[in-house]
Amino acid sequence: MIEFRGVTKRFPDGTVAVDALDLTVADGCVTVFVGPSGCGKTTSLRMINRMIEPTGGTILIDGADIMAGDAARMRRGIGYVMQQAGLLPHRSILDNIATVPMLLGWSKARARARAAELMEIVGLAPETARRYPNQLSGGQQQRVGVARALAADPPILLMDEPFSAVDPVVRESLQDELLRLQAELGKTIVFVTHDIDEAVKLGDKVAVFRQGGHLAQYDEPGHLLARPADDFVDGFVGRDRGYRGLGFRSHRLPLGELTTTSLGSPAVGNGAWTLVVDDASRPQGWCARRDGADGTAVTAEHLVPGGTLYDVTSGSLRSALDAALSSPSGQGVAVAGAGRVVGSVSADDVLAALASARAEEAAA
């Protein structure tokens, strides 16, 4: 557990970056610090491992004052991932990951074995082990950065805007990978971002900072979206917070039927939308053929991208609504198991479920 007790950071020019911060980071959870530029979120993160030292108050890790011991030794027990990965350009990927274990006195063989294990865990191909950072993509470099931070199996992982320098598609992939890793490893993670969407996706709890280093609200993502503490939080979270909030609501939705076909099978005539699936009933795209009555087979050229999918095991109303709105047919594709199609969802059903959930909450 990490505790901030009245922590303040004042720089020599008089600038107060963090002002009397009181906050507790729970063990085994992802806590996200979010806010506009210059609000003190990164300073707060860096005070945890004493890259920046507080000028007032106390920071405790598992009840011990961080200022009581040797800073360098403490840092080796805390993983740190930064923007642009910060890899050593003259070392191979394998040796970059093995850096901290070797500093802790591990043998080269043991450190490299651990590095190879972590490459697999974070989704790096074995053939990248002997490459150098400039030979990897930005997303691959960030995976190396995460692997390096995990190499000595630290209980705490600090992540300072680690995904902000990559493109949106890679960023979403890295976010999903982090959630997968956290489900397996259960680290105590403090994550800094300026992106509220990233914050509510990743955080078990989210701390919103305002200018001057003040904590505006510290709450679970669903509560943050539903009940902003003040106008600043309301404005920062954004006008579409109601839509984001659907991600924290689940409800059993009725599933409609879907007309399906497969590549090589006859298309459906009359311009009707038909979902094309593979041999395992996984969606491949939509097809709308007006000449299908003549028995012309569906080919890959006829496919229209199908939008997002609604996983019925999650029950997320946001996922269901997005699937319905992004589908060219207006029918969201519902899947289960290994992506097998089980039916359809409509936007009307999602809105009806939301109204029902709110009525139940009001009656409780």
What is the arithmetic mean of pLDDT over 75-82?
86
Order of all β-strands in the sheet with 188-193: 78-82, 156-160, 188-193, 30-34, 205-210, 214-219
Do 150 and 226 reside in the same domain of the chain?
Answer: yes
Strand segments, DSSP code E, in the chain are: 2-10, 16-25, 30-34, 56-61, 64-65, 78-82, 156-160, 188-193, 205-210, 214-219, 260-261, 273-277, 283-288, 309-311, 332-336, 340-345
Do 281 and 238 reside in the same domain of the chain?
Answer: no
Do 337 and 199 reside in the same domain of the chain?
Answer: no
Do 277 and 301 reside in the same domain of the chain?
Answer: yes
- Quote the tokens at residue 334: 């519902």
Order of all β-strands in the sheet with 273-277: 260-261, 273-277, 283-288
> Domain for residue 165, yes or no?
yes
Range 243-253 burial, b when 16+ CB lie within 10 A, else e? ebbbbbbbbeb
Q: Is the per-residue pLDDT at 50 higher than 70? A: yes
Only one residue has tokens 């931070």, namely 149
What confidence tier does 330 reach under pLDDT thresholds 50, 70, 90? confident
pLDDT at 237: 86
> Domain for residue 207, yes or no?
yes
pLDDT at 270: 58
pLDDT at 294: 53
Residue 37's domain is classified under what CATH number? 3.40.50.300
**Torsion-angle region of residue 104: left (phi > 0), alpha (psi -120 to 50) or beta?**
alpha
Q: pLDDT tens, 135-194?
A: 888 888 888 888 888 888 889 999 998 888 778 878 888 888 888 889 888 999 999 999
> Domain for residue 67, yes or no?
yes
Q: Tell me whether strands 64-65 and 56-61 are parallel, antiparallel or unpaired.
A: antiparallel
pLDDT at 295: 60
pLDDT at 73: 84
Contact 178, 157 (CB under 8 A): no
The helix (H) or strand (E) run that includes residue 111 is helix 108-121
pLDDT at 314: 77
Q: pLDDT tens, 190-213?
A: 999 998 888 988 999 999 999 988
- For residue 346, how many other CB atoms are within 10 A of its CB? 20
Do 66 and 199 reside in the same domain of the chain?
Answer: yes
Q: Is the per-residue pLDDT at 254 higher than 80? A: yes
β-bridge partners, 64? 61
What is the number of structural domains in the chain? Answer: 2
- For residue 125, how many other CB atoms are within 10 A of its CB? 10
pTM score? 0.78
Q: pLDDT tens, 288-299?
A: 755 444 567 778
- Quote the tokens at residue 170: 């890679």
Q: Which domain holds residue 279?
A: 260-356
